[in-house]
Structure 1
Amino acid sequence: MLGAFAVGKTSLVARYVHSIFSEKYQTTVGVKIDKKVIEVGSQEVSLVLWDLYGEDQFQRVQSFYLRGSSGYLLVADGTRPETLEVAQNIQQRAQEVMGSVPFILMLNKHDLPWKIGEAEVGQLLARGWEVRYTSAKTGEGVEESFAELARRMLEQS
Structure 2
Amino acid sequence: MAHSTDNATLRSGLTLSGNASYLFKIVFLGEGAVGKTSLVGRFVYDSFEGDYLATIGTDIHLKMVQVEDTSVKLVIWDIAGQDNFAQLRRAYYMNASGAFFVFDTTRSETIARIDEWINALRTVTGEIPLVLLENKVDLESAILQEKKDEIISKYHVKMIPTSAKEDTNVEEAFKEMTAKILLKARKKGMKPI
TM superposition score normalised by structure 2? 0.78
Provide the identity percentage: 35
Tell me, in whole angstroms, the C-alpha distance in 2 between the residues paired with 1:88 and 1:147.
25
Give how far 1:88 is off.
3.0
* Residues 33-92 of structure 1: CA deviation (Å, up to 9, x unaligned): 111001001000000100011134x44253111010001111001011111123332111
Give how far 1:125 is off.
2.0
Check the 8 A contact 1:17/1:36 in 2, yes or no.
yes
* Residues 100-126 of structure 1: CA deviation (Å, up to 9, x unaligned): 000101010101111011000110122
Check the 8 A contact 1:75/1:87 in 2, yes or no.
no
- Aligned match for 2:76, one of 36, 39, 49: 49
Give how far 1:156 is off.
0.7
After TM superposition, the runs of 4+ consecutive aligned structure 1 residues lying more than 3 A away are none
Q: Does 1:84 align with 2:102?
A: no
Tell me, in whole angstroms, the C-alpha distance in 2 between the residues paired with 1:74 and 1:8.
11
TM superposition score normalised by structure 1? 0.95
Check the 8 A contact 1:76/1:107 in 2, yes or no.
yes
Worse overlay, 98-107 or 83-92: 83-92
- Aligned match for 1:153, one of 181, 184, 188: 181
Structure 1 residue runs of 5 or longer lacking an equivalent are none
Worse overlay, 86-95 or 71-80: 86-95
Partner residue, 2:158: 130
Letter matched to residue 147 of structure 1: K
Partner residue, 2:140: 113
Partner residue, 2:128: 101
Q: Does 1:13 align with 2:40?
A: yes
Structure 2 residue runs of 5 or longer lacking an equivalent are 1-27, 186-193
Partner residue, 1:33: 60
Rg larger in 1 or in 2?
A: 2
Partner residue, 2:8: none
What is the SS of the residue equivalent to 2:113? helix
What is the SS of the residue equivalent to 1:121? helix
Give how far 1:96 is off.
1.4
Give how far 1:97 is off.
1.1
